[in-house]
Structures are given as C-alpha cells and as structure tokens.
Structure 1
C-alpha cells in the first residue's frame, strides 16, 4: 500500500545566467544566418562578363571558351558516373539527365553571374547527394560529391572568386563545409567521403582567385594613378607655359601699348600748334591703344586663370563679334585704308565661337592690308546662305593705289596660320591667295552653329 502525495512536484528553477546565455547564443545564431543569407543573396555588381574590361578580344572570349569546354566534357561524364552508381532504368534515367544538366549547364551562366550559378549548381549537388544515398552500387565510391561534381564545383569557385566580395566567398566556403558535415551522419556504408576534400579544395581555389582579383585591382589602381599623375604633370606644364606667355605679354606688349596710349593722349599738350585733324588722329590712336590694352588684359586673365582651364567656363568679359565690325572698319579707315563693309540686314544668330572667329578673321585680314598694302581699296562682306546653314566672310583688297613700301616687310605668316586654326576649330573652311590685279583675297566659310568637340572628334576619327 502506498500513499499518493497531494503536493505537486516542483520543476527545478532555471538559472537566470544560463537562460541569458542561451538567448544570447540563439540571437547570435540568427544574426549569423541573416548575414549569411544576405551575403549569398547579394551579387557584387552587374552581370558584366569576366575579363570584360580587357582590351584583347581573345581574353574577353576566354571565359566563354572555358565554360563551354567544361560543360561539354562534364555533362556526359556526370550522367555516366551517376549511372555507374546504380541510378539507371525507368525514372532514374530522367533524374540522372536532369541532375547532370543542372550541375553543368549553369557553368555558362557563371561567366556573367557566378553567384546565381552557384545557387543552381549547389542545390543540384545536394539533390544528387540525397539521391545517391539509396543507390545500389555506391559501396567503394565517392560520396556525397562524385568526381565530376567536384570538378564542376571547383571551376565554379574559380569564376566566383574572380567576381564576388571576400565576405561572399567566405559564406560560400562555410556553406559548402556545413553541408558536407550534415551529410556525414547519413553516409552510406563503405563509401568514401569527399566532403572534407571539397571543403579544402574550395578554400584553396577561393583564396587563389581572391588574391588574383585583388592583385589585378591594385594594378588597375596604380595604372589609374599613373595616368592621373601624367595628366596632372602635363596640365602643370601647360599652366606654367601659359603663365610664362602671360608674363612676356605683360612685360613687353602691354608695356609698349601703355606707352603708346600715354604718348598719344599727351601729344596735344606736349606739342604746340598741332592741327585739329592731327589731334583727332592722336585721339583715335589713344582709343585704339586703350582698346587693344583692354583686350590684352583680358587675354592675360584667361592665360593666368586656372579655373578657366579646369572647367572650360565662359570668359568674364564679352567677346567681340560681327556686331563690332563697323567699329573695326572705322578704325581701319582712320588708318588710311578705304574699306567698304556689307552686312546682312538681319544678323543671324551665331554661336559664340563662330561669331568670335568671324570677327578675328576680318580683323587679321584688315591688319594685313594696313601692313602690306597701305591705301588699297578693301571690301568686307558677310553673307549667310539661303538655308541659313553657313556664313561666308569675304575680305578682298585691290593693289595699292601707288607703289609704296609696306609698313612691314618681314611677315612671319602667323596671321594666316591663326585664321586657319580658328576656322578648323569651328569645322569651317578658309581660302586665301593673291589676285591677278595684285590684290589679295581671304574667304572663310563658317557653320552658323559650331560643331561640338566630341562630334568633331568622332567625325575625324
């Protein structure tokens, strides 16, 4: 006879410290699984092919050639090996064909998207290992990863290591090892385990591929730095040369122009009895010198401006254009050259570069007439084509009215060279040459809209 206790049994009290440690462990495990899933589900970048940035065409095709070669070799060999394991007859034939295809064909996808290819191939490898667990002739054979599976997986690891981040590679490696360990307790009798072998070989290939990828990245960065350094040195040399030219212009040309201005302005006060016409001439000389000095200062500012070279920004002072041609012709007439100017009633809208080029061409042509054919009758005309696509600038002078020595006898030809360079920059054409009557002709054809630099480069290329 026994008595039943009416007092309920008490559960042993759990230690708060033990419960806290267990919760911390579970929390850390969940966090690790989230990180692992994030790394395995996030590719490193867009699906650009491996070696897609190299210049050699053969190197760009090499990943496709290797992937095709391994796919062609491993597809039939995987099916043959699985059949030798005892998976043959009936539905097993279809299973073998599906597994072999899923384990090899995604190698072609690995050229552009290796992480997505890994998901497909690794899932097929796991299904294959589970199917081989009950195979008839597995004794004495490799399991869970048959030899063709190991080879295809290592090829995939090489492609993966050349593309993905370190953390993704680590996640893939650990996942491979964990799955191999999970298969160990259910290994068939008398089979040779390849879980550790694949784990070790995968780690070696991932490490080698990551080293090669980082080495290539370092070399590319060094090459970029060298290119930047060379460009910086060339830019510094250009700025130094511009500063030197600006100093020479300031010290020589600007100084002389300032002297001319002062002398022309002070001539009526220093010399008595000067006729009114001569005073007006001195005033015109001073005004022209001041205008030239202002343009010289603007040019000096451009040459010394590092910001203008860096951003190609607009110059702060307005540039002369066709609208200033009457003033230019007036100054030339005061210099003793009869000039006739013909402009269209409505000036077409011009790009700043075209407008400036037209003005400078007329300016240089008139300066050549003053220097080499003083007193020659000159005609300047600016016309636009009927379709408003091109602008024609024509400067024609006759022979001097009387034989006289030119103001300058030793021309350098820099003026004509400068005109040709201006015309070429706006994608125009220039025709210059002497006339039968002893005169000279300058004809420039300019587009009403300047051709963008990129389009011009591609057209000339």
Structure 2
C-alpha cells in the first residue's frame, strides 16, 4: 500500500481539506432536527382541547375572524417563500414549494391546535434553515424573513391559548435551535438569530400578559355577578324577615281570639257534651302553644338594633294621612285621595295583612320619591272595588334646583313591595313614566287567595 492510498472505509479528502467540517455540520444538523422533533412531539402531546380561538363568541362572523387571518397569511407566505427560496437562495422550485407549504400551512391548524401546529412548523423551519445554510447565500440565515413572520403569527396563537409553562418551553426551544444553527452560519451572511429570539420572546410575553389580564377581568366580572346575586338574595331575605316580624301582630291577634273563644265556649254555650268541652280545651291549649312558638320565632327574627320600635303597633291606612303630611313637611308636595274609604267602617273591615301591606307600599313609594326625586309632585290614590284594594302612587320629575339624595338605591324598596303584594296574592306594576317620574300601582285582594270563595 502506498503512502498516498486511503483506507477503504474513508472517503478521499478533496484538495481543499473541507470534507471533515462538512461531515460534522451534517451530523450537527441531524442532531438538532432529531432533538427538536422530539421536543415538539412531547409538547404537542400536552395540547389542550381543540377549541378554536373566539369560538365562544355569540356572533358568527367573530368566530370566523381567526380562520380568515390565518388563511390570509398562508395564502401570502406560501408563494412568497417559494419565490424567495428559489431566486435568492438558489433552491430548486419543488423543494422551495414544499418548504413554503410546510412552514405556512400549519397556521390554519394553529386556530384550534396552536401547540401541535408549532411542533410541525418548528421542524419545517429548522429544515428550511439547514437548506438555507447549505446554499452559501449571503442572505439572511438561519431564519428567513418569511419564517420569522409566520413564526410570530404562530406565537400570538400560542400565547393566548397555551399555559405559561408551554409558552416558556416554546421560547427556550426557539433560542436553543437558533444558537445551534448560528454556529454553522457562513461568514458574511446576515444573522437573524437575535432578531428571531427577541421578537418571538416579546410576542409571547405580550400575548401572555394580555391573556392574564383578560382572565383577571373575566374572573372579576364573574365575581361581581356572584356578589350581585348574593346581594339580591340577601335583600330578599331581609325583606321577608321584616315582613314576617310585622305580620306577627296580625297572626298573634287571631290566635289570641281563638284562645279566648275556645276558653269561654263552655261558659257561653249551654248543653255541651263532655267530649265537646274537651275538644274546646284542646283547641285553647293548641292556640296557647302556637302563641308561645310564635314568640320564640319572633325573638329569632327580631333585630337587635331596634327592639323597641318593632314592638310598636303596626300601622295601617288609618295613619296614611299622617304619613302624607310628614312627607309634605319634608318638601314633597303630596296629595292623598281615598274617597271610598272615608265611609264609616271601611278601614276597620280591611284584612289586617292588606291594611299593613297597603300602608307599607305607600310608605316605600314616598321614601323613594324623597330619595330620588325630591320636590316632585306626587299623587296617592287608594280606592276599593268589589274584591280588591287599589293603591296608586304617581310622582312627576324632580323639582328644579334640587338634586337626588341618592343616585343608586339598594333595591330594598321595590323588593319589599313585591314581597308584600305576593304575600296577599295581589299584583304590582312599577316603572318610569314617559314624561319623567315614576308610577307604582298595586292591587291587593280583599279575600284570602287560598279560600274557596276566592
């Protein structure tokens, strides 16, 4: 064997001695592609559900916007990539077209599966970078301008859909692949590694910040909705509790009458049998027990901040004139009209629950006028037909040179009106008037809605 012969398992070295560097470069490229392909596969396996961007929007055209944008980029990048790789980098037309499709078409998949689309794109981008590096072109390498544009669009979809850990992993893979490929960049070519790393990191960070801000706003809206529902529920329960406390006197009066009648029946009625006397005694004992239980219930319902006021007699329509006069002294020109109820015996014949509810409805309506429309002229009308009591309170716009005491209400007044009307089986109509002002109209049945006659 001569000194110039080469072993059979080795290729002869060319005169310039560059075969070894080229072989090392090919092996490095193969290692980068293999490692990044495995990283892309592992990340895409953890992708979330295939829910397209903006799919929760109620408008159909909004749900189509991501697809239109992605289709626009795909339709632009594929021909541009093919043309640039063919003319500027000297790559064959078939290979350039294949790279353009592989690098751009997955943007359509990014609408619903951004992490899986990234796994395909990163492999195609690295393959394109290897081809561009092997072309020995002084153009931008390893990432071509079209690759950078498509990759940034993909980063937008990734940042708004994937978790923080996945986004960080995507950026680290981008940095690592860029640094490895940059080692084999030909001298004199334009380096795009730093540009790719900075732009992709900025887009991913900005997208994550926008997503977290949107999630924080969504949670805040959900919490406000929950708080509003709880506030309404609490208001309703407070009004029901207050009404229950006020109706205690009404129910206690009827139970006391039953007790007295049952106790005095054996003395008032002659010729009662022993069984009848025993029955009246059982009725009286049951009525007394019911009164005791009602007192215990009232002790639970009674507010601790104003125990004296709740033991005062409950008002009725007989005190409505005093209420209107007090409102007039407060600066609200109110007028009361109840012609049918001026007859002797009309007020005393009203059911206690209806009497109390009518008074409280007028009281709440006048309180709302004082708070929200001070100085407004107000008309109160209380009339009676064959089977119901009609209460109407109408106020005009607020007076001139006056400002509302409250701009937002707690809602207790209207809730209390609705509950009182529902208690007696009536109807309530409230709402603003076309020319300004407000109207409250309640119809309260005089008969028990559960009775057979009703």
Match of 1:257 among 239, 254, 257: 254
Partner of 1:148: 146
Match of 1:68 among 67, 71, 77: 71
User: TM-score if structure 2 supplies the norm length?
Assistant: 0.53
Shift of 1:61: 2.4
Partner of 1:98: 98
Structure 1 residues 173 and 75 mapped into 2: Cα distance closer, same or farther (>3 Å)?
same
Partner of 2:233: 235
Structure 1 residues 82 and 212 mapped into 2: Cα distance closer, same or farther (>3 Å)?
same
Deviations 1:115-172 (A, max 9, x none): 110000010001111122332xx52211111111110001001111111122221111
Structure 1 residues 273 and 215 mapped into 2: Cα distance closer, same or farther (>3 Å)?
closer
* Superposition pairs of residues 425-444 of structure 1, within 5 angstroms: none
Shift of 1:249: 2.8
Match of 1:276 among 272, 277, 286: 272
How many Å separate the matches in 2 of 1:149 and 1:198? Answer: 9
Structure 1 residues 250 and 38 mapped into 2: Cα distance closer, same or farther (>3 Å)?
farther
- CA-based RMSD of the aligned residues comes to 4.3
Match of 1:200 among 187, 198, 201: 198
How many Å separate the matches in 2 of 1:285 and 1:80? Answer: 107
How many Å separate the matches in 1 of 2:39 and 2:131? Answer: 27
Give the aligned length: 280
How many Å separate the matches in 1 of 2:165 and 2:51? Answer: 20
Partner of 1:127: 127
Gaps of 5+ in 1: 1-32, 306-370, 372-407, 422-441, 445-461
CA contact (8 A) 2:70 2:111 kept: yes
Aligned to 1:152, the other structure's residue is in SS state helix
Deviations 1:405-457 (A, max 9, x none): xxx97644989994999xxxxxxxxxxxxxxxxxxxx999xxxxxxxxxxxxx
Deviations 1:236-275 (A, max 9, x none): 101101111221233321x123213312321234x25524
How many Å separate the matches in 1 of 2:257 and 2:124? Answer: 91
Aligned to 2:161, the other structure's residue is in SS state coil
Partner of 2:9: none
Match of 1:186 among 164, 184, 187: 184
Structure of greater relative contact order (alpha carbons < 8 Å, 6+ residues apart)? 2
Deviations 1:258-311 (A, max 9, x none): 213312321234x2552439x9599589859969x97xx89x98xx99xxxxxx
User: TM-score if structure 1 supplies the norm length?
Assistant: 0.52
Gaps of 5+ in 2: 1-35, 302-348, 350-384, 391-420, 429-451
